[in-house]
Structure 1
Amino acid sequence: MLTTELGACEWFVWDLRRSNLIEREQLDQVIGEFLGKNPGAEPPALAEYLKNHNVLTEFQAERLLQGKTQGFVLGPFTLMDALGSGSMGTVYKAQSKTDNKYYAVKVLPRRSMWNVRIARRKVRLFEQCQHRAVVPFVDVGTAGGMHYLAWPLVEGETLDKIVPNEGKLTPELTVQYALQTAEGLALCHQQSLFHGLLKPSNLMVSPEGQIRILDFGIGCLLAETEGESLVDTMSTANSVNSGLDCSSPESIMDPTNLTPIGDQYSLGCVMYYCLTGQYPFPDGTAVEKMMAHQHKQPTPIKTLAPDTPDELIAVVERLMHKSPASRYSGCAEFMEALRPFAPTGAVRNQPTLSIPRLKAPPTPAQRAASVIPAAREAAPRLTPRPVSPLPPRAPSAYSAAPGLRAAPAA
């Protein structure tokens, strides 16, 4: 196929090539098939065609139409969708070229500098932490000037969504979730691994009612290791500040002072949140919250949740003691203190989760088969890119496609 035959889609096709999302041979065949039937088509129509045939996702198509070609592929991971963002970066749903499975990939800000050698050592430590509550930290790397972290993608709903929607949890359910979390923490603490940023948004409840601890491993990167911090000071401070509602007093004083004993304080704050429906210090500025965690006592649990047993309140208060030395000696001790309050048999008042199951992604061969009816030998080929500049991108040419944004004019 001659370059001139690409018509208005010329710039979009070249951006597709630069993105590395589609293999060159497959891309040539797809474009030839589409433009053979739609010779005057605009880029949004081509993007819609590729989405309908599972060659591109909505996220990928939208970014390409905006003229963004970089950052789709990070090491073995192809970014499929944006899941959310926080102080440490944006989280994406990604598919691994290695095993064709889905992962949650967090892309860190470009300013974040770290020691990848030490970070990879942390990844290997998680191989010893096989527990249903722990979503293991499986990969870390640098690609295209960006750093990324990867975990298996899991299904569920986090506690910071469940509590506002369902109301405060019963003492029994709170204890069940706390015990599941503590079991996972205990195993990791034995390997000198800690969470460091435990909070309701990092505790996901699966459709089966199992707690899954998210973002495990970031705390280890924020803390100083072998005399150096694995990420820059600003990223460390921002991450701790974003979790102020459950940050331990010692980590507030020193953001790199993230320890297993600090995980106890954070878990106590999570239990307080589940029992009362609010954080220990819900109001005030960041500075006021910092001071409160160090010097003030929260509203008594009995005031906000009168049905909570006094003995359980005592456990939560000890977990949230300002002095690390006054907390429990380890997970085993406070798990033993929690067990008398654990539910027996079926869990009562468990929130109903309506979460779609992840479908296995199609293989490249399946994608090609759904798009390309003709034999490969008969498919037209794209000629090399001409030396002359590409035609300008006119916004009006793409405005006819609903739901897709056009790239701004140069």
Structure 2
Amino acid sequence: MNPGQLRASSWRCVAISRASASMKSAAASRANYRAAHRFACPGSTPREAMSVEEQRLGPFLLKERLGAGGMGVVYRATHVESRRPFAVKVLSAKAAGNKRIVARFARELEILKALKHPNIVRCFGGGRQGSDIYLVMELVGGGSLAGLIRRRGRIPWDAAIDYALQVCDGLAYAHEWGIVHRDLKSANLLLTKDGQVKIADFGIARVQYGKKLTAAKHTVGTMAYIAPEQIKGDPPISHRTDLYTLGCVMFEMLTGRLPFVADSMAQLIYQHMEDAPPHVATIALDCPIWLDALVNQLLEKDPLKRPHDATALARALREAKEKSVSGAGVAQAATGGPSALRVGQERGEAKQARELLGKKKKRKKKKVPVYERVWFLAACLLLVVAVGAWSVWPLNERQLFERAEVLMATNDGLKWRPKTGISRRC
């Protein structure tokens, strides 16, 4: 074996020995990690592998699954000691390995513990058992608004206004705390059995002027309800972002479908950014024109063209309901009442009326001779009346005595002849 072959054989031996040592080290590390995990988390078992009898998490006994999302699963649970029912949200095993999702989960716990409002789901705290991270919320037993829409097809406009008013109250409270939900949708609006609305799932909520949990220009939110500024990142996300998503929810309640429907995600994003939404009244014929206009205002691309805040929106909703009590649906078009189908026609008639009024105003601006103007004729009439009244006004006692003295001082009988009347012309 020559020296070159010897050196090559030596390098191969060194490389093989290093690779073997590395593999042994990695295997040992994995074994040590598993041992450490078993030591740190004794008895921890993946949630998916647990049987019905093993569904125990901290002081709670988990029962049926109520729903699932991208971050975790929500269970109906019972507190073992008090036997009170709760909703327990458990972070999924896959999500628990993502630091960003864990941070969002912690943020949701932090936000919900601070928010105490009748229209926001109450959070009682959270905990960790082994690899399971969970938070405990009040149990809302009436399902979600999305489920109600699926069952009914669509919701009557007066009931939709009542639901939207409750959402406005909850949003106004959250916005006062500087919290923007960013993922408002019908599935996140839970209903109690008596019809009270509660806003849930603040997992991707953003605290304004606080620490960001998403990278710049990163789109967060459900695409079917997402606001244009969430897609573009400009202008910045604000409380008006939640008003856009609420507009999508209101459209869904009133029509049974979303304002934008597409075959692909790219088309859906384009529609939210560029396309004008259809009018609610073209789908739901009983929708009052004032409510139809308000939903369209909520779906404006420019946030500044939307209502100022949730409080202003609630006020506008109440006004629309008051105006609509007497009936303002499209079905009234046949009776001549105001309706959404007559909006275009009424706008055209109003434009013609403005044009006619403008022509009349132009005619009034033409120069008219002074003697034909109303004020001049009125002044002349007043002068004639004044002169006539003065000429027939009777003499007073002093003037009559002076006239008598003149007559008595003369012997001319003609001057003593009686006259038909005495006036200033005598």
Q: Which residue of 2 aligns with 1:64?
A: 51
- The correspondence of residues 39-188 of structure 1 with structure 2, limited to 5 A, is 63-64=50-51, 72-96=55-79, 99-108=82-91, 109-114=95-100, 123=109, 126=112, 129-188=115-174
Q: Which residue of 2 aligns with 1:403?
A: none
Residue deviations 1:106-159, cap 9 Å, x none?
A: 223223325979976764654554322111233244432343333211110322
Is the 1:172–1:341 contact (alpha carbons within 8 Å) kept by the matching residues of 2? no
| Aligned-residue offset at 1:91 | 1.7
**Secondary structure of the corresponding residue to residue 304 of structure 2:** helix
Residue deviations 1:156-182, cap 9 Å, x none?
A: 032222123212222111111100111
- Higher deviation after alignment, 202-211 or 113-122: 113-122
Q: Which residue of 1 aligns with 2:179?
A: 193
Give the Cα–Cα distance (whole angstroms) in 2 for the partners of residues 139 and 250 of structure 1: 33
Is the 1:138–1:151 contact (alpha carbons within 8 Å) kept by the matching residues of 2? yes
| Aligned-residue offset at 1:308 | 1.2
- The correspondence of residues 208-357 of structure 1 with structure 2, limited to 5 A, is 208-215=194-201, 217-220=202-205, 226-229=210-213, 240=221, 243-254=222-233, 259-342=238-321
Shift in alpha-carbon separation, 1:115–1:226, aligned structure 2, 3 A: farther
Shift in alpha-carbon separation, 1:115–1:202, aligned structure 2, 3 A: closer
**Secondary structure of the corresponding residue to residue 317 of structure 1:** helix
Q: 1:206 aligns with which of 185, 192, 216?
A: 192
Shift in alpha-carbon separation, 1:303–1:314, aligned structure 2, 3 A: same
Structure with greater Cα Rg: 2
Give the Cα–Cα distance (whole angstroms) in 1 for the partners of residues 101 and 58 of structure 2: 17
Give the Cα–Cα distance (whole angstroms) in 2 for the partners of residues 248 and 291 of structure 1: 11
**Secondary structure of the corresponding residue to residue 89 of structure 2:** strand
Residue deviations 1:215-255, cap 9 Å, x none?
A: 2x21326x7975451x899xx86x62xx2211111223359
| Aligned-residue offset at 1:19 | 7.2
Is the 1:77–1:97 contact (alpha carbons within 8 Å) kept by the matching residues of 2? yes
Is the 1:203–1:211 contact (alpha carbons within 8 Å) kept by the matching residues of 2? yes
**Secondary structure of the corresponding residue to residue 150 of structure 1:** strand
Give the Cα–Cα distance (whole angstroms) in 2 for the partners of residues 103 and 264 of structure 1: 30
Q: Could you tell me which amino acid in structure 2 is paired with residue 184 of structure 1?
A: G
**Secondary structure of the corresponding residue to residue 105 of structure 1:** strand
Give the Cα–Cα distance (whole angstroms) in 2 for the partners of residues 140 and 128 of structure 1: 13
| Aligned-residue offset at 1:302 | 1.8
Give the Cα–Cα distance (whole angstroms) in 1 for the partners of residues 59 and 315 of structure 2: 43
Q: Could you tell me which amino acid in structure 2 is paired with residue 143 of structure 1?
A: Q
Identity %: 29
TM-score by length of 2: 0.56
Is the 1:112–1:232 contact (alpha carbons within 8 Å) kept by the matching residues of 2? no
Shift in alpha-carbon separation, 1:104–1:225, aligned structure 2, 3 A: farther
Residue deviations 1:34-55, cap 9 Å, x none?
A: xxxxxxxxxxxxxxxxxxxxxx
Q: Could you tell me which amino acid in structure 1 is paired with residue 230 of structure 2?
A: S
Residue deviations 1:340-396, cap 9 Å, x none?
A: 23479xxxxxxxxxxxxxxxxxxxxxxxxxxxxxxxxxxxxxxxxxxxxxxxxxxxx
Residue deviations 1:6-62, cap 9 Å, x none?
A: xxxxxxxxxxx9579xxxxxxxxxxxxxxxxxxxxxxxxxxxxxxxxxxxxxx99x9
Residue deviations 1:250-292, cap 9 Å, x none?
A: 223359x754221101111000001111001123212221121
Q: Could you tell me which amino acid in structure 2 is paired with residue 278 of structure 1?
A: R
> Comparing both chains, which one has the higher relative contact order based on Cα–Cα distances under 8 Å and sequence gaps of 6 or more?
1
| Aligned-residue offset at 1:88 | 2.0
Is the 2:104–2:204 contact (alpha carbons within 8 Å) kept by the matching residues of 1? no
TM-score by length of 1: 0.58
Number of equivalences: 277
| Aligned-residue offset at 1:318 | 1.3
Give the Cα–Cα distance (whole angstroms) in 1 for the partners of residues 190 and 105 of structure 2: 24
Q: Which residue of 2 aligns with 1:38?
A: none
Q: Could you tell me which amino acid in structure 1 is paired with residue 67 of structure 2?
A: G
| Aligned-residue offset at 1:295 | 1.1
Q: Which residue of 1 aligns with 2:373?
A: none
Q: CA RMSD in A?
A: 3.6
**Secondary structure of the corresponding residue to residue 219 of structure 1:** coil
The gaps in structure 2 that reach 5 residues or longer are 1-41, 324-426
Give the Cα–Cα distance (whole angstroms) in 2 for the partners of residues 95 and 232 of structure 1: 38
Q: Could you tell me which amino acid in structure 2 is paired with residue 329 of structure 1?
A: H
Q: Could you tell me which amino acid in structure 1 is paired with residue 184 of structure 2?
A: L
| Aligned-residue offset at 1:328 | 1.6
